[in-house]
Each structure stands twice: as structure tokens, then as C-alpha cells.
Structure 1
Amino acid sequence: MERSYGTIWKYSGPLRKWGILLLLCTGLSSSVLAQTTPTVTSSVDTTAIKIGEQIRFTVTVDADSAAAVIFPEGQTFSPLETVEAFKTDTTRRLDRMTLQKIYALTQFDSGTYLLPVQRIEIDGKGYFTDSLMVSVSSVAVDTVSKEFYDIKPLIEVERNSAAIPFYVWIILGALLLLGALLWFILRPKPLTREEEEAMMPPYDRALLELKKLENSKYLIQEEYKKYYSELTDIVRSYLEEDVHISALESTTDQLITKLEMMKDAGELKIEEETISQFKRILDTADLVKFARSKPESSRAEEDRRAIEQIVIKTKEAIPEPTEEELMEQVVYQEEIKKKKQRKKRVQIALATAAVIVLGLIATVFYYGIDNVRNTLIFRSSKDLLQGEWVSSSYGYPPVDLSAPEVLIRQEAEISPDEREYIQNKQVFSFYNPDNKLGIGTSSIILAKQEEPDYQKSIDQILKEFVDKGARNIITKQEEFSSASGVPGIKVYGSAIYQNEDGGERTRGKYAIILFGGMGFQQQVILSWEEGDPYAEEIIDRIINSIDVKTQV
């Protein structure tokens, strides 16, 4: 190289300039290419641990600052278990960035394990880390220098009554609160003075109000208009309530006419002199109220005493109620009693609702809103998760997995297009329409002794999703390892599914896991409703239990 450079430098003129330009362009293009191409490196802090210890697996990505980088998530390091995925550390430098992701991994069985290749997606393109072997050794137990003892038997102890569970306090507090509310609502409340007066009979109330008017300061302050207004209102209200005559809205002449008509009809046994005296007082009151007349104080006091006598005589003039009127009063009193009972029932219902709400708030505070919501709202997926699971082998080549229910063999029809590359297919599935949980396995024998076309199988499964009404399908893909370390492919994502009844659509998730070898392929297809935490736990448990045979 030195000789070549020397040769170029010997020449002068255009040839020398073109040589220099060629060297600069070559170096510049190499530099630009090196800066735009992402690089992925991985490392571990150790390859030998003891059972339960952790490995720090570090993935470093150097890429353009605008690149979209997706790191693996979940249990993608099987057979090693992911303990924690730490937050991504980002360093930016001009138009480049360096991302560093650290995973804490462990294993609780001794042996030598293959840390599988991990797929890092950068702008939609996959980049892979290196695989390596990890040795997990058991913990040495000194059985010679240390003495071992038998397990001690259980010892009965007295129950500590001081440690009362929190929910007991919640129940006791709710009951005490309910009792206090009921006592407060149902206790006999003392009536106010105004309420007691309002409940008095009209006759007694009229006499009491006339007595109050006598002790008022209206006459001392020469407030005759207020004095006579209250005086006439008292007697008119009494007539309206006890004599059942529309007195409050009647003029003086109209009221007197009505009293005379009742006297003539025998409905009110009152003397003509009493009516005439009453008319004279009403006329005086009208002059005071509307003509601003000012009678003597003694005359006003005499009018009050006269009205008091008129009330007494009117009470005596009212005929005894007939049996029909008495019955109407009984019905009226019964209706009032029923209204009071209905009001009391409403108050009790409101108090009970308040206690229930308070108890619900306390329960949410103690157990968490998700647990309370999923307990109150029926979740069939919760019953499936907590029920008895079934571990079984399905099809040939077999697919082993654990599921909350046994998968049922289905009639597998092979279309004419599939017969070119499929010799035999065995399908097993389970579907729960209550929570949209679907579990299915397929074991396929290929027509030729060749490696399966995974992409073709994925396209076919997604096409079946679309044919069943799925829309907005989002797809991601990553490497996968079975429980025994058999490598496979996992395709997962979300979609909007059409309900079986053709009604509203439901947002859900799916996972497609593919394995295969020379002349065969195995598939596991899972689908569930998005936002169901119990379904998420079911799917994780199923995926972690999947295992397949590598040979037919």
C-alpha cells in the first residue's frame, strides 16, 4: 500500500488530483456506511452459576437516533427464567444512540443450558444476539462436619386474640355505622314549637294565635295594619280548616254571604247577631288595611276579644260529624300513616345503601380494585385459572401442554390446495365463549420430507382469522423455545374479533407458536380477550408448559 501511494504522489497534474479524490470518496463512503448500519452485541457477566443465582445478560444496540428498537419481552430466554428486565439505558451522541438493556436470568435446576438467540427488531428488521452455554451447579451440602436433625413436630399454641384480621374490623365498623344511622333516622325526634302548634286542632290553634296577638306590640307601636291583617288571617284560616269554607281568598261580602247560606242550609247553627258582628270587624279591618284608618287601641282590643268569641261560637255551631265524615277522616289518617311508613322505608334504604357503599370502599382499599371488580363481576376465566388443570399430549407428532380443560379432537378437513404439501392433520381445540378464550393444537405430517414453510403457515392462520371476521390485526414475531429447549417461532399480537352472534366486536389478543422438523410441523394457537388479567395468567401458564418432540 505504501508503494502504491508513493506511485500516485509521483504523478502531478490531473492524475494526481483524481487519485486523491478517489481515496477520499472511498474512505467517506465506508465511514457513512459504518455509521448508518445498526450493530447488536450481547454479553453476560458469568457463564457458571449456582442454583438460584442470577446472570446479567446485557444487550447493546448502536443505531441511528431515529431508529425504532424493540427488545424481547417476557419469558423468551427459556430454559432460563427471566427474573427482571431492567429499564433501557439510552445514550445519545449527535445522530447516533446507544441502547443498553440488561436482563436478570436464573435457573433452579442444575445442568448445562443453552441461552437462546434473542431477536432485536430495529426498524422492522431482525438482528440476533449470540447464543451461549450456561452451567448451573447445585449447592454443595456439608453432611460430614455439620449435624442434621429431624424435623420438629408441630407445637400447639394459643390463638392470639389480639391479632384480629383487618376485615373483621371493617365488618364491625360497618355494623356499628349501620346501627348509628338507623338510630339517627328512626329515633323519635322532638318536635319544634312551630311543629307542635301546626299539629294542634284548628280551634285550639286559632285561640293560641289570638292570645299571641294580644301579647304583641302592634298596638303599642301603632302598627294597626299588621294587627288587623293577622287578626283576620287567624279567623279566616280557622273557618277554612274547621268549617270547610273558602275564606282566605274571599272578600268580606263573599265570606259573609257564604256563612249566611250555610246558616240557612242548617250546616252552621250560628246566630245572625254573630254574623253581623263578624261583618263589622271585617269592614273595620278593610278600612285599616286599604284606607289607612286608625281606630282607637281600645277598639282594636275589643275587636280581638270579639273575634275570639266568634271562633268559640262558630266551634259550637258546627254540627257533629256524620258517620260518613268520620270514615273519611279515618281514611285520611290511614293515608297519612302510610306516607310516613313509606318515608321511613326510603330512609332505611338510603342508610343501608350508604353502609354498603362504605363497606365496598373499605373492601377496595384492603383487597384492591381489580380483585373486587373481578369478584363482583363474573369472570369465567377466573374459575378456569383456579380450577383443576389437565396436562396431556395431543396429536402426532405430539404437542404436550397443560390447559384448564381437555382439548377435544376436531374433524380436520384438508383442502385441495393443502393436499399438495399436507399428508395428514390432527386438530384439538377448546373454546369458552364467555371470555373468548381459545386453545388449539395442530399436528401436521407433510407430503414431502422437507422443512416446513413457517411463513406460509402463518399467512394461512392469519387468513383464517380474517375469514372469521377479525380486523386490524397487529403482528409481531420472535424466537421461541419450548419447556425442554426445542426452538420454534412465536407470532403474537392483537386484533378486533367478530362475536359469534354477529354483534359488537371485541378487542383481543392471540399467539401462534410453531415447531417443526423434516416432514412435519406442530402448531399451538391461543386467543383471548384483551384486558382480562385471569386470561393473561392462563395464557402464560399454557405457553410455559408447551413441549414438543423433535422427531417423528
Structure 2
Amino acid sequence: MKQNQYTYLFSFWKAVLLLFVGITFHQHSFAQSAKAKVDRDSILIGEQIKYSIEVDTEADDVVTFPEGQTFVPLEAVEAFPVDTLQIEPRLKLIREYALTQFDSGHYTIPQQFIQLKNGEALTDSIDVIVQDVVVDTTKQELYPIKDYIEVERPFSIPSWVWKGLLLLLVLVVLAYLIYRLWQHKKEQKERIPPYEQALKALEELDRSSYIEERNLREYYSMLTFISRRYLEDKVEVRAMEYTTNELVNDLQLRKDAEKIKLQQKTIDDFKAILERADLAKFARSQPDVITAKEDRKFIGEFTDEVNIAIPEPTEEELQKNKEYLEKIALKKRRIKWITAALIVVLAIAAAVSYLIVSKGYDYVKDNVFGNPSKELLQSEWYTSSYGYPSVSITTPEILIRGDVEMAQEAEQMLVGNETFKFGGIFGNFYMVLSTLEFQEEMEFDLETAVDGIYENLEEKGAYNILTKEDKYQTLDGVEGVRVSGSFAIENPFTGNDIKKEYQILNFGEMGGYQQITMIYDAEDQYADEIVQRILNSIELKNNSN
């Protein structure tokens, strides 16, 4: 009968610990062992104590010793290299740490977790006494406080200088953009028609001193430049790029196609003037003054004739010209909108930059771009009771009931099981609340249940897991076990590590088992406040009342 009872209990634990809320509670038997010891169990404030961990393991095993501040409430000052003693066919690995404490009292160095290739091991906790340093003022002479020594402050540029330079740069950029926009509008308003522009340029040539100074080479250069620019703007021919023959041939083709009503003699005379100008510019041939004045008179008449030589556009040409003008107007509007948008973007960038410099990046990120954890903290919170035996808790979101897969054998040993959660393990905050209710004849060992949390985290994809176990008591005095620490999990989209921290509370009250899991981003400044608020609200209710 007794043997059957043991078999029954073993089957119960095997089923329950494998299937409930993803937590696998099972026992390991390792060929490794870990011991911890200190060189003394009593020190004065500020003194260091030598804490050593000794691991007896197989020769091919990989052992990872604790790193960082895992000895709280004592502070790790230094971690020494690992010493190796080979005792065939096994190894003995020893690592020492220098620990200290600056407050007097009785302290307990917690159990240390040793990661092994084929499992893990835990050391025993060790008690240490830190004593005050007693000073006998009747024997030890006291000295007066020394005067302070003024130290010259190192040179540093005040922050307002950087802010001023940033603001000045933004103002300069905005002023430049506004100036360019104004200049463009001014040029549009001041642009005059090609015919009037040509007449004005010829009048300025008449007032020049080229004729009096007999600088006919420069005179002809300006005269042909005015006529070419006029043809390019009025007739839309590439007169500034063409040679003399190319320009005359283009005018001839336009005349033959009746696109411009010029007399043949006008084209021939214009060609002769262009050739004389070429000789004056390139062959150093000097025309006489009378010829130059006659050529000037002809260019004036040529300008008048070209002005009336272009036939009236047909209805089709007018329509094409209208479409062209509409495209030009649309392009101008786009430029205006792009310029305005650029100014707005620069103004926003300047404002954001100023806030980052003055308030810091976190302030801008949280208040301008938003922070999910901050929104959770500042949202409306809800107080509800979940599961049986019920747990009353206040959370930023209402927990949603989840499904739990459980073997038939386990279901027969339980009266009920329920799981509630919100968020996901890859999100900024993930919470799960689970309850189990056992049959009356079942006995529950809370310490055994806690042992499976490490494996459960690995099953969820966690690695580089650091874990610490301590006693926990709710505000209404219910005691339980808290498992906390950190781990990394792979981002499913980028493949990078996501650093997480976690707290898992475990209670064995009222014939049942209650577990509260909270997982959150390691660098989330609001997560600690969310967790603390949840912890302060936990109540385990006796449903029989």
C-alpha cells in the first residue's frame, strides 16, 4: 500500500510539473558538486572577506562561475582567476572573490548559481557578521576638520553656448531659404519681354564708348550677342550655341516652312553682319565706324521685323502653349510646397534637437514619440480577482484567460487550473498569472516547484539566464518564493539579442499553487515602477470565507 502511494505521488508530480503553464518541475542528479566557503565569518565595516567556490566536475565539462554583483547584500570588489586542480580523471575548479560591506549587521550571502555543460549546481548560503569599528576617544586623539582646498574648475563650454549655436544655425538656414524664395519671386516679377529687353540692350550699347574708342571688336561682340539672345528668347532657336551658318540655316528653314515671315534680303543682310562680327572677333579685321553704325541700325530694324514676323499661333498651338504654361505653374507650386515643407521639417528638427540638448533624449522619446511602458503606467489600472484559489491583483491591463494543455493523468489529480495573461514575451511588458487547485489528499512542496523555472525560461527561448531566489512576503503577510534575474532572447525579426529582466512569485496557499510572472525590457525606466505597483497590490484571498 505504501509503495502504491509513492508511485501515485511520483506520477502526480511528473505530470503536473511538465504541463502546467510551461513550468517543468523535475529533479536532476548531477555528477558535479559545488561548495562555497569564506575565510572568516566576521569582519569589520569595509574589510574584505575571501569567498571561494569549489566545483568538482568531469575533465571535459564547461563551468561558468557567477559574474557581477550576485552576492548582494555583500558587494563584490574583485573576482580572481580560476584555479584548476587535476585529480584524474576529474577536475577541481576553485574561484575566489573579494567581498565587502559598509553597513554593520548580520548578512547572508545567497546561494550562487553555477552553470555547467550538462546542468547546473547551487552552493549553500553563508552567514556573515559585519561589525562596527569601535573608537575609544579617551585614548585616540581627535583632530580638527581640515579646511577645504579650492580646486580650479576645468574649462568647459557652457551648455547655453551649444544651444545658441544650434539655434543660430537653424535661423541662418531658414533665412537663406526665405531669401532664395524671395529672390526667385523678384526675378519673376522683373523679367521683361524679349523684344523690350533687346531694345533696352541696344540703347545701352548706343550709350557705350566702344565707337569713340574704336573698340569695334567688342562693339560687334555685344551687337551680335544682343541679336542672338533676342532670337533665342523670341523665336526659341538655340542662337547662343549655333555658329553663324547654323543660325542662318535655321532661320532659312523656318522661313521656308512659313514659321517666321522674314524677307530673304533680311536673312542675307543678317548673315553678312554675323560674318563681319566673326572676322572682327577672330580674324582681327577692323570694320570702319560708318559700317558699324549701319550694322547697328540694321539690327534695330531686324529686331522690329522679327517681332512681327512670327505668325499668330493656331488654336492647337495655343492649347499646347496653355498646357505648357500649366505645367510650368504646377512645377512652381510644387517648388513652393517643397520649400515650405522643408522649412517646417527644419523647424521641427530644430525644436527636437533643442529638446534633446536641454531635456535629454529619453524625455524627447517618451513625450514626443511615445513610450509604451509610460503609457501603461499612466493608463487606467484595474483590480480583479483571478483563478482559484483566487489572487486579487491590480494591473494596467485586464488579464485575459488563456488555455492550458494538460495530460489526462494530471487533470485527474487536480480540482482546477487557470491561466491569465497580457502582452507577449517579445513585447515591452509580459505578465502571466496561474493558479492550481489540488485534491485534498495531495501535498504540495513549493521549493520543488521553483526548481523548474530555469528550464521553463529556456523552453521559451531564453539564454544567458541569471537567476536569484529569495523569500518574498506580500503586504498582507503571505509568504512565498521569488525568483528573479535577467536573460536574453533572440529578436525574431532582426536576430539581435533582446535583454530582459523577470520576477516570478510563487505561493502555495489554501491547498493550491499560485504563480505570478512578470517579464520586461532590461533598460525600461518605467518597468520597475509598474512591477512595484503590481507587487504592492497582490492579495491571496481565502475563498472559503
TM-score, with length taken from structure 1: 0.61
State which structure, 1 or 2, has the greater radius of gyration over its C-alpha atoms: 1
Tell me what 2:100 maps to: 100
Q: Report deviation, 1:498.
A: 7.2
Corresponding residue to 1:237 among 229, 240, 254 = 229
Rounded to whole Å, the distance in 2 between the matches of 1:284 and 1:515 is 109
Note the 1:346-425 alignment, pairs <5 A.
346-364=338-356, 368-377=360-369, 379-391=371-383, 394=386, 399=391, 401-407=393-399, 415=407, 424=415
* Contact kept in structure 1, 2:373 and 2:429, CA below 8 Å: no
The structure whose RCO (Cα within 8 Å, separation 6+) is larger is 2
Rounded to whole Å, the distance in 2 between the matches of 1:515 and 1:116 is 25
What secondary structure is seen at the aligned counterpart in 2 of 1:70?
Answer: coil
Structure 2 letter corresponding to 1:308: G
Rounded to whole Å, the distance in 1 between the matches of 2:52 and 2:71 is 20
Q: Report deviation, 1:482.
A: 0.9
Q: Report deviation, 1:342.
A: 2.0
* Contact kept in structure 2, 1:40 and 1:61, CA below 8 Å: no
Tell me what 2:505 maps to: 513
Between 514-523 and 476-485, the greater mean CA deviation after superposition: 514-523
Deviations, residues 89-136 of structure 1 (Å, cap 9, x unaligned): 95999x99854334799xxxxxxxxx995627598745444799xxxx
Structure 2 letter corresponding to 1:292: R
Q: Report deviation, 1:517.
A: 8.0
- Alignment of 1:293 onto 2:280: no
Tell me what 1:277 maps to: 269
Rounded to whole Å, the distance in 1 between the matches of 2:324 and 2:217 is 38
- Alignment of 1:70 onto 2:69: yes
Q: Residues 516 and 38 of structure 1: is their aligned pair in 2 closer, same or farther, counting only changes over 3 Å?
A: farther
Between 288-297 and 365-374, the greater mean CA deviation after superposition: 365-374
What secondary structure is seen at the aligned counterpart in 2 of 1:533?
Answer: coil
Q: Report deviation, 1:239.
A: 2.4
Structure 1 letter corresponding to 2:49: D
Tell me what 1:80 maps to: none
Q: Residues 466 and 381 of structure 1: is their aligned pair in 2 closer, same or farther, counting only changes over 3 Å?
A: same
* Contact kept in structure 2, 1:511 and 1:526, CA below 8 Å: yes
Q: Residues 101 and 220 of structure 1: is their aligned pair in 2 closer, same or farther, counting only changes over 3 Å?
A: farther
* Contact kept in structure 2, 1:117 and 1:479, CA below 8 Å: no
Tell me what 1:37 maps to: 38
Q: Which runs of 5+ in 2 are unaligned?
A: 1-36, 54-65, 81-94, 115-121, 131-166
Corresponding residue to 1:472 among 458, 463, 467 = 463
Corresponding residue to 1:526 among 491, 511, 518 = 518
Tell me what 1:430 maps to: 421
Rounded to whole Å, the distance in 2 between the matches of 1:545 and 1:242 is 85
Rounded to whole Å, the distance in 1 between the matches of 2:381 and 2:308 is 90
Note the 1:140-219 alignment, pairs <5 A.
184=178, 199-216=191-208, 218=210
Tell me what 2:295 maps to: 303
Deviations, residues 403-455 of structure 1 (Å, cap 9, x unaligned): 334556666665478689x655633422224645122133454887767162x
What secondary structure is seen at the aligned counterpart in 1 of 2:516?
Answer: strand
Tell me what 1:537 maps to: 529
Q: Report deviation, 1:395.
A: 5.1
Q: Residues 314 and 527 of structure 1: is their aligned pair in 2 closer, same or farther, counting only changes over 3 Å?
A: closer
What secondary structure is seen at the aligned counterpart in 2 of 1:200?
Answer: coil
Corresponding residue to 1:440 among 417, 424, 433 = 433
Deviations, residues 11-40 of structure 1 (Å, cap 9, x unaligned): xxxxxxxxxxxxxxxxxxxxxxxxx83445
Cα root mean square deviation, aligned = 5.1
Deviations, residues 303-340 of structure 1 (Å, cap 9, x unaligned): 23332232223324444444544444444433333322
Rounded to whole Å, the distance in 1 between the matches of 2:47 and 2:411 is 46
Q: Report deviation, 1:348.
A: 1.8
* Contact kept in structure 2, 1:494 and 1:509, CA below 8 Å: yes
* Contact kept in structure 2, 1:431 and 1:437, CA below 8 Å: yes
What secondary structure is seen at the aligned counterpart in 2 of 1:62?
Answer: strand
Structure 1 letter corresponding to 2:361: I
Rounded to whole Å, the distance in 1 between the matches of 2:400 and 2:301 is 99
Rounded to whole Å, the distance in 2 between the matches of 1:397 and 1:72 is 35
Rounded to whole Å, the distance in 2 between the matches of 1:392 and 1:99 is 44
Rounded to whole Å, the distance in 2 between the matches of 1:117 and 1:364 is 44
Corresponding residue to 1:458 among 450, 461, 474 = 450
Q: Residues 444 and 321 of structure 1: is their aligned pair in 2 closer, same or farther, counting only changes over 3 Å?
A: closer
Percent identity of paired positions between Structure 1 and Structure 2: 30
What secondary structure is seen at the aligned counterpart in 2 of 1:429?
Answer: strand
* Contact kept in structure 1, 2:47 and 2:100, CA below 8 Å: yes
Q: Residues 299 and 436 of structure 1: is their aligned pair in 2 closer, same or farther, counting only changes over 3 Å?
A: same
Q: Residues 250 and 376 of structure 1: is their aligned pair in 2 closer, same or farther, counting only changes over 3 Å?
A: closer
* Contact kept in structure 1, 2:465 and 2:488, CA below 8 Å: no
Q: Residues 128 and 261 of structure 1: is their aligned pair in 2 closer, same or farther, counting only changes over 3 Å?
A: closer
Rounded to whole Å, the distance in 1 between the matches of 2:450 and 2:283 is 103
Rounded to whole Å, the distance in 1 between the matches of 2:374 and 2:253 is 82
